[in-house]
Structure 1
């Protein structure tokens, strides 16, 4: 029997989770379609994923901070403050991310080589990356605007918008990669152009919704000390956490890329499939963040506690389902991406690791979402730094170069990292839980 807390959590969490999955599908659509062009083409598209994520780390950190600020105002019924937060944040995004994207455009070849790109697919990676960079910037701005919707609990609208954007992307991919009908066969370039088209459509739909709500009629674009102080206090911890994660992933990916084109292609396939549930969990984490933000005030302590346990329960339910499906169908899943039978034994083994990682992955992301909205962004950043940036690269190096475990060692390292973060999040959330309960008890007295 679903309680009212379950229904409200799933009302926000499921659309947010599915929205994350659809965004990953955008990337996987490129991989699956480009996969027919060969292993080199897969590697060319995949090697750009880390530079793209480095840029999106800033955008998603900004969006997460805006989601928390909007959620807090929603809980306090300050509905006329949404536009002011959005406008001021847009100014920051255009200045900081605009300069960052220009830098990446100029030095993309050096960045890809540093990431471990091999010469046999570097030219294709450059074509894909240079054409995809504008789409990354547009996505960054769109993600910021959609943060207002998330903060209000309107995750279904975000899902609807991004479904349409993904449909446009997939259609353009098919037309331009394979040259269907009157369209030219552009291969890797077609994948990039399809991404741009889908992104532009999502941006248009997002703007239309916000204008209909009157968001742009509120507030102004002038940055103030009060805004900067509030925004940076939230953004700093979130950006540090995601920045540490991205640094660790960059180092990790470079080590894996040095194993060679074929192992890296298998890794890219597994990582892209893993990202499906990672993004699903991220959506559940967003729901936990929004609901914890709505109920952050002390007089809503009971609601905060109820949504905490609701998130924990659903993370376990979804993880069990995903584990069983992924483990039992691991060979079939890998075969969707690669038709080379020689890759199947190692590929199916790595997909089994993906299945096992689902449990700590979901748990730590739901916990982290609650912690961020409860004012613990710095603490989440601290354990993320230790686990992702320090321990994972060290453990990966030991497994790859000292123990000669190959690609399996890289995924064992990833599983250990997720488990460490889950333990740290559980300990910190337990402390917050008891602090809030003791404070609430004192207030009642």
Structure 2
């Protein structure tokens, strides 16, 4: 009897996934970027790009974007897409200013959260209970919030001193504070314009100068969100609803309850961001003052790969680019053209190292064009300064899109018992 050799089946190779950037590598990249920024500041003499005032303004502008992004994070980790963040922020601005005018700024903070949470409740009812498309529901909330606040303003603010149908009377401020001694020392060090040292002093000084109590609360909510969602059983159940709700239900998780809680909390975060705008950023409600920050917050969440830390970095980036409109304007943006050109050249070198020559050629060409723009002009037009935050949003999302990994069941319809 002849024997035949049977080839043993080979085990399938595991799929190659994209490696996540480790914390040491991320810190090294941030340090390298700071060195590059310092070099650009010395070459261009644009000291404003890392000044304490610039960083303080950037933090103030980043807070509402970050709060909106945290709201999107909570909802999408439970599987609900929340395009309605902009509308929930609008509700937060109106309710915050209304209650702040009636009973003081801290009451405004509470009512701002409640206003946003009401918008989140509506979104949860429509999407979770009635399974309406999440995008349609979110857009409807944005439209309804704008119309509702315009209607309510005619009753609440018209006839009051300083109030009209489009704005509220002034609201008492929550106040600001500095870290005694440290703030002044960092500002002095920043004024020396030393290489890297002064830039670090400006960055840290901006965090400790002119702080609002609400800013401290907002910053603390980032690590708190990470701890709740990734270190508690409540967070594990909530995230399981966004990854595989059928499996979560089979293990006894009440998927509807967690989706409702997540979307209501999401609205509360967005409402807090809106209250920040009307109580801290300007101490007045003004129609249209959200300025698309709900959408930019959603972009920051996507840039951060649905993680709180990455979201905070994204909010900081968008807040910084937004602050360029208020401080330095065209001069600072012109200096940043040189930074962009250098980053593109470094990116081209990286593509050459990875043997992706077409990408390297395109990146080099764009880098040369940006460098020519920098060398042939002295200042950029105001229109470019105004558009910078939105251009940066598009660029960052397009460049980081390949490394994104959204929750698997994000935006997918779910019915109780559908796995049976």
TM-score by length of 1: 0.29
- Which structure is higher in RCO with an 8 Å CA cutoff and minimum separation 6? 2
**Greater share of helix residues, 1 or 2?**
1
- TM-score normalised over the length of structure 2: 0.30
Larger Rg computed on CA atoms: 2
